[in-house]
Amino acid sequence: MGDPGSVGPSDGRVTPVRRPKRPTMSDVAARVGVSQALVSLVFRNQPGASADTRRRVFQAAEELGYRPDTAAQLLRRTRSRQLGVLFTMRQPHDVGIVEALYPAARKHGYTLVLNAMVETRDERQAMDELLGLRCEAIITIGTTFERHQPATDLGRPSIVEINPRTRAAGTDVVRTAERNGMRQAVDHLVAQGHRAIAHIDGGAMPAAEERRRGYRAAMRHHGLAEHIQVHPGDYTEESGATVARDLLARPELPTAVIAGNDRCAHGLLGTLLRAGVSVPDDVSVVGYDDSQLARLSFIDLTSVRQDAAEAAEVAVRAAAERLDEGRTADRDIVLDPTLVVRGSTGPPRIRSTPDGDLLR
């Protein structure tokens, strides 16, 4: 017996199967009992509808299975009001900034288009893809390129760089006062009684040079120039573990180590603890970023906090100033970090020399 919904009963002709009609914005408006223009305001997150109306519109859309055609809406707009975001997925702090960008963009009436940097794609390609999606400005996080010159003919976008490796002309920069952060870390350790304070360098990573300079300056400020130890590394667990193994092979451990970032501190901590070194009794450890990693209860890492939400807010605001207010002058926005003290730091253990002298 044939399918009555697809084959005619006598002549064998195929009858097209009728697909259910896709719900429209006018269907949502009819269900709620308001105008289609008001429903459009709700879906564009524009003022003009009460909280109750917004709730009923979204409820009706859910019941009908209606979804706005975002691509069609963009084509109808003179402006896209989209911000592109170029970021890596390697650093927890960068991911935290991306998360904070969403409410910041919504507050200023923008939406986000994300493009992650991976080893198989270069920065120029990623930038061009964002421009092809009509992004009016690009927010970059810890990027490597010095000049942003897209290959497309869509024009040079507004650029806001968060924690850049280099500062390009014609861009706004949002960065942390890295020297201040390192000074706070060194001040804290010195106040605890430490003198032999080492630093694991971040190499060519964003802000590493400023952190290294800040460490050296703070040590000299406290009269500890002879105790300066800078160990080469980067922002990975592997670099922290490598430095830890190097320190363990030496006759004397430093009493404190300031890592380039939290991931590096994690690698350092794990290797020291597996070797039987007590943290913080034998060695105090400080990280940088105060990422989610530092706040885990079993790590409990003292860390210099960079406020991801603040960085996201000022970056979006800088982009909006250029796009909505016509600002043309570049801005260099410096944010103050804060040391968050946890269980990985404490006073150094008193040790005695073969001559009976007491050392910290």
- Render the burial of 228-261: b for 16+ CB within 10 Å, e for the rest: eeebebbbbbebbbbbbeebeeeeebbbbbbbbb
Distance CA 315, CA 307 (A): 12
Is 223:190 a contact under the CB 8 Å cutoff?
no
Q: Which CA distances in Å does 207 have to 116, 146, 200, 210, 318?
A: 20, 14, 13, 5, 21
- Torsions phi, psi of 291, nearest 5? -75, 175
Q: What is the pLDDT along the chain (360 residues), one digit of tens a residue?
A: 455 555 555 555 655 556 667 788 888 889 889 998 888 888 766 778 888 998 898 888 888 887 765 555 544 556 778 999 998 877 888 889 999 999 999 999 999 999 988 777 777 778 888 888 889 999 999 875 544 444 333 456 789 999 886 667 778 999 999 999 999 999 999 999 999 999 999 998 889 999 999 999 999 999 999 999 999 999 999 999 999 999 999 999 999 999 999 999 999 999 999 999 999 999 999 999 999 999 999 999 999 999 999 999 999 999 999 999 999 999 999 999 999 999 999 999 875 444 444 455
Distance CA 253, CA 118 (A): 37
Residue 318 burial by Cβ neighbours in a 10 Å radius (0-12, 13-18, 19+): buried
Residue with tokens 């919504």: 106
Read out DSSP for 222-246? TT-GGG-EEE---SSHHHHHHHHHH
Looking at residue 38, its pLDDT comes to 86
Looking at residue 153, its pLDDT comes to 38
Kind of pairing between the strands at 358-359 and 351-352: antiparallel
Residue 57 is given by DSSP the state: H
Output the pTM of the full model: 0.75
The identity of residue 141, as a single letter, is I
Shortest CA distance to 39 belongs to which of 64, 14, 9?
64
Distance CA 142, CA 205 (A): 8
How many Cα atoms sit within 13 Å of 41 on the Cβ side? 14
Token pair belonging to 193: 């009684």
